[in-house]
Structure 1
Amino acid sequence: MNNKSAALGTEPIGSLLIKQAVPASIGILVMSLNILVDTIFVGNWIGSIAIAAINVVLPVSFFIAALGMAIGIGGSSIISRSLGANNKERALKTFGNQITLTLLLSTAMVVLGLVYINELIPAFGGKGEIFEPAKIYYRIVLYGVPLLALCMMGNNVIRAEGKPKFAMIAMIIPSVGNLILDYILINLLDMGMAGAAWATTISYGLCFGYVLYFFLSNKSELKISWPHFGLDLPILKEMSALGFVTLSRQAVVSVTYLLMNNILFNLGGVSAVAAYGIIGRMLMFALFPVLGVTQGFLPIAGYNYGAHKFPRVRESINKAILYAGGLGLLIFAVIMIFPEAIVSVFTSDPDILSETPHYMRWVFAATPVIAIQLIGSAYFQAIGKAVPALLLTLTRQGFFFIPLIFILPHYFGELGVWISFPAADILSTIVTGYFLNREIRKTIKD
């Protein structure tokens, strides 16, 4: 048996966190670079309208893919704790249930998404000249989303086994594939929006092929059989409760895109939506090391909590916040110094170039403190406490950001939308820090 998961409970936390976080960061970096370069290709080869069109479609495809991510993270928390407690049968049953649930839910959502295509696109801001290119992109990408959901689920399980390098490769393959296909289908074959969409969908298939290979080979210690695919109610309830945290976060992200696209379209037209498309891509890209530390932290905290090694749990929290906070400070400095150069890579449109750098500075203004919010909410998810994990996950965008984007524009116009980003970051960090500290004092005894 390839039992590397035991290392999560024995190796020094600092080196273990680096081993887990670096591959996760590289995977997120490549995936983010894929989104970033994809946006650059689309903006330069098709036009700024195409950037806005893709930005409109993202909430729908992200939400369906988030089903797989939610099931993956929720189930992986059970798997990590089960492996830590040496209960392998429960880990196997959980994995089988993850596969079954991901297939059922993602397929159903795709069918609904295609049936209501003409209603969903305008609802998410695909109005006027944005509608037709968004519809082309949306229909093709949706076909591949079930494969993406399975990839997102499988990737988290791979990481829960303590094999972050394989999880990294699973993220790199579709990203590199998408960029190569972008060049071929958009630039060489001049397929426009359809080319961009097919490049994305085919890349999902490449990712799925690799994840399937990992679990069918001897690289995984989770060797499931047909009985494991049968749905188990207690496991489903725990997995759903924990996965609902991730799904809620992604649902709020989708709602945020919907609201932002509509609010910005009303305040600044197509150029404002395109500006958000650029800034949104930078948020995905620039925060890759912070998100990598968060992903690396999850299996370490979950395994050691399941093994009742509480001093190691406390140490993992402290070091994860320290590492992620330092990286956040570095990202903050780069964005504050070079916003004009960053925006100019995406477009030469003078309307977008004139305002977007200023807005980007506002969006990233509170980056140095977000580590506390990310690690804090992830900790509750890792140890299986679904309710506080859910509430803390929703604090930033659900409880603070969405109300702020309705309130602040009344006083500051379009600028109020961008000011809402750092305001929500600071408020959610204060709340999360308080509850994380209380939980540590109450339950983790050295």
Structure 2
Amino acid sequence: MSKSKDLGTRSIPQLLASQSIPAAIGFMVMTLNMVVDTIFVGQYIGKLAIGAISVVMPISFLMSSVGMAIGIGGSSIVSRAFGAKDQEKAQLTFNNQISLTLILITIILAGGYIFYEPIITLFGAQGDLFSFSESYYLITLLGIPFLSLAMMANNNLRAEGKPRVAMLILIIPSVVNMFMDWVLIVLFDMGIEGAAWATTLSNVAAGSFMIFYYLSGKTELRVTPSLFRLKKNIVNEITRLGLVSLMRQGSISLLTIVLNHSLFYYGNQAGIGGETAISIYAIPNRIAMFAFFPLIGLSQGFIPIAGFNYGAQSYKRVKEVVRLAIVWGLIIAGFLTLLLLLGSNFIPTIFANEQEVDLLHYAPQAIFVIFFATPVVIFQLIGSSYYQAIGKAMPALFLALTKQFFFLTPFVLIFPLFAGFEGIWYAFPAADIMSALICYYFLRIGMKKLDTKQINTETSLAN
């Protein structure tokens, strides 16, 4: 029996759990890998290495997010095609995703190597951070094609009802990275270059696993070279929906540029030092990636369920999964917030040794303030994911940009004018609250439209 059919028949709580838990575990291990990476460089190399990773990581994610964007946009089409029992469209969409990913990532990598100096400078590699950032960037760029393919495949595996395999794509490179961090940084004392090679090898492992799995014939979606030729209508739909994810990552990258330059400027103004200020933020940034893994897993598990049932015109099931995802998300996020606030003084000691006095002094306040409004982020995650799942690109794009682009980036520029260096931290909870209010409003509109569609469907069937 096709695993994708389960998305339209199993109970919603069982489905959401079976889709979200593997996704959450995968993201947990992936983000734990980032946390461990930061711990290794912080304990064995120093705060400049932490700052360098904070500068380069958003660039790597922006480049590789091309694969993620194509996968999210394409998997939305695949989910709805499976729901509508259109196998031909599902197969064509999957193979067009492969071609599109390879073409775009080749162009991006060429530009990334040619213009690497202005790129890393733009993202905040200033002063003593530049040489560390340069070394880390040039090496990690080698693994971007593999990471992009893995991200694309990850979304399609969930669309065909294989969340556990999708989880493995996230777990394998994380385990490889953590092991290679120990080997290359601790045993071989390779410094920042060792951290970069560990990351690159882990991305190669992720891409290689994806390639071998799809060639094994164990998937509903098959690699079919005759379907690689790009079809305009498919590419347009992938682009419209994938643009949501790409613009979201683009807004995060823009935020990183503004944030790193603001931290550098106001850190110097406060007498902390610009490089140190960037390294301070790197700690809550890494914690955010790790702490939010259950919420990201929940939103990723939600998408194929909502998309499949919307395609099958089972609108009551779509409403049920939206409501359940929000309730679960609020409970999980509330618990996470409590842990982060209570642990704000302890967390920095994990990343920095006792010589890094400034990091240990300033990071606790940053953690406490940044995560103060964490529970409400579930509205933005589910809001943008819902409209993406049902193929509505424009509202999905708008909601995806609410926090980073419309609120947090301008707040980071405005708040320090009145509150100085600490104003940067207060921008985060303010942006969380504002974006949550807007996303909640759009979700209510979406649910009312589902009620109308359900009535029309039942009337049509009765006639």
TM-score if structure 2 supplies the norm length?
Answer: 0.95
Displacement, 1:259? 1.1
For residue 181 of structure 1, what is the aligned residue in structure 2? 180
In the alignment, which residue of structure 2 is the partner of 1:52?
A: 51
| Code of the aligned partner of 1:165 | R
Q: Map of 1:187-226 to 2, 5 A cutoff? A: 187-226=186-225
Q: CA deviation at 1:281?
A: 0.4
Determine whether 1:430 maps to 2:429.
no
1:126 alignment counterpart: 125
Which deviates the most, 211-220 or 94-103?
Answer: 211-220
Q: Counterparts of 1:6-25 in structure 2 under 5 Å?
A: 6-25=5-24
Tell me the equivalent position of 1:326.
Answer: 331
How far off is 1:276 after superposition?
Answer: 1.0
Question: What residue in structure 2 maps to residue 93 of structure 1?
Answer: 92
Alignment match, 2:389 = 382
3-state SS of the aligned residue for 2:345?
helix
Secondary structure class of the residue paired with 2:128: helix
Judge conservation of contact 1:94–1:235 (CA < 8 Å) in 2: yes
SS in 2 for 1:340: coil
CA contact under 8 A between 1:28 and 1:288: conserved in structure 2? yes
The aligned residue for residue 37 of structure 2 is 38
Deviations for 1:329-371, whole angstroms, at most 9, x for unmatched residues? 0000001101111111000311111111111111111111111
Match of 2:300 among 284, 295, 305: 295
Q: Deviations over 1:246-303 (max 9, x none)?
A: 0000011111111111110111111110011111101100010011100000000000
Tell me how far apart the structure 1 counterparts of residues 106 and 197 of structure 2 sit (CA, whole Å): 19
Distance 1:224 1:374 in 2: 31
Does residue 1:274 correspond to 2:273, yes or no?
no
Is the CA contact 2:281–2:366 (under 8 Å) kept in the aligned structure 1? no
1:335, 1:143 → 2: CA distance?
Answer: 35
Measure the CA separation in 2 of the matches of 1:224 and 1:216.
7
| Structure 1 residue 110 displacement after superposition | 0.9
1:46-125 → structure 2 map (5 Å cutoff): 46-125=45-124
Q: Give the Cα–Cα distance (whole angstroms) in 2 for the partners of residues 64 and 434 of structure 1.
A: 32
Tell me what 1:261 maps to. 260
Paired residue type of 1:290:
L
Q: How many residues align?
A: 445
For residues 38 and 130 of structure 1, the distance between their equivalents in structure 2, rounded to whole angstroms, comes to 17
Tell me which amino acid in the other structure corresponds to 1:13.
I
The alignment partner of 2:346 has SS state of helix
Kindly state the Cα deviation for residue 218 of structure 1 after the two structures are TM-superposed. 2.9
Instruction: Write the letter of the residue equivalent to 1:231.
Output: L
Tell me if structure 2 keeps the 8 A contact 1:290–1:325: no
Q: Which residue of 2 aligns with 1:237?
A: 236
1:435 positional shift: 1.1
User: What is the rounded CA distance, in whole Å, between the counterparts of 1:444 and 1:152 in structure 2?
Assistant: 34
Offset, 1:117: 1.1
C-alpha distance in structure 1 between counterparts of 2:180 and 2:262, whole Å = 33
Partner residue of 2:457?
Answer: none
Q: Which moved more, 1:20-29 or 1:121-130?
A: 121-130
Question: What is the rounded CA distance, in whole Å, between the counterparts of 1:287 and 1:437 in structure 2?
Answer: 24
How far apart are 1:444 and its partner, in Å? Answer: 3.5
Question: Within 2, Cα distance between the matches of 1:414 and 1:249?
Answer: 26
1:392-403 to 2 correspondences below 5 Å? 392-403=399-410
SS at match of 1:408: helix
Quote the residue 1:421 is aligned against.
Answer: 428
TM-aligned CA deviation for residue 227 of structure 1: 2.0
1:152 corresponds to: 151
**Kept in 2: contact 1:59–1:255 (CA 8 A):** no
State the partner residue of 1:340: 345
Alpha-carbon distance between aligned partners in 1 of 2:212 and 2:389, rounded to the nearest angstrom:
27
Structure 1 counterpart of 2:183, one-letter code:
I
- What's the secondary structure of 1:395's corresponding residue? helix
Residue of structure 2 equivalent to 1:317: 322
- My pick for the range that moved more, 207-216 or 95-104, is 207-216
**Separation in 1, partners of 2:254, 2:313:** 38
Distance of 1:112 and 1:323 partners within structure 2: 42
The answer on whether the counterparts of 1:186 and 1:196 sit within 8 Å (CA) in structure 2 is yes
Could you tell me which amino acid in structure 2 is paired with residue 103 of structure 1? L
Letter in 1 for 2:441: Y
**4+ residue runs over 6 A deviation:** none
Query: Any idea what the Cα deviations from partners look like across 1:48-72, whole Å, max 9, x if unmatched?
Result: 1000011111121111111000000
- Residue type of the partner of 2:318? V
Distance, in Å, in 2 between the alignment partners of 1:3 and 1:208 is: 25
Code of the aligned partner of 1:98: Q
Q: Percent of pairs identical after alignment?
A: 46
Distance in structure 1 (CA, Å) of the matches to 2:441 and 2:340: 28
How much has 1:327 moved relative to structure 2? 0.4
Structure 2 residue ranges without an equivalent (≥5): 268-273, 455-463
Paired amino acid for 2:310:
Y
Give the Cα separation in 1 of the matches to 2:448 and 2:327: 19
2:42 aligned partner, one-letter code = G
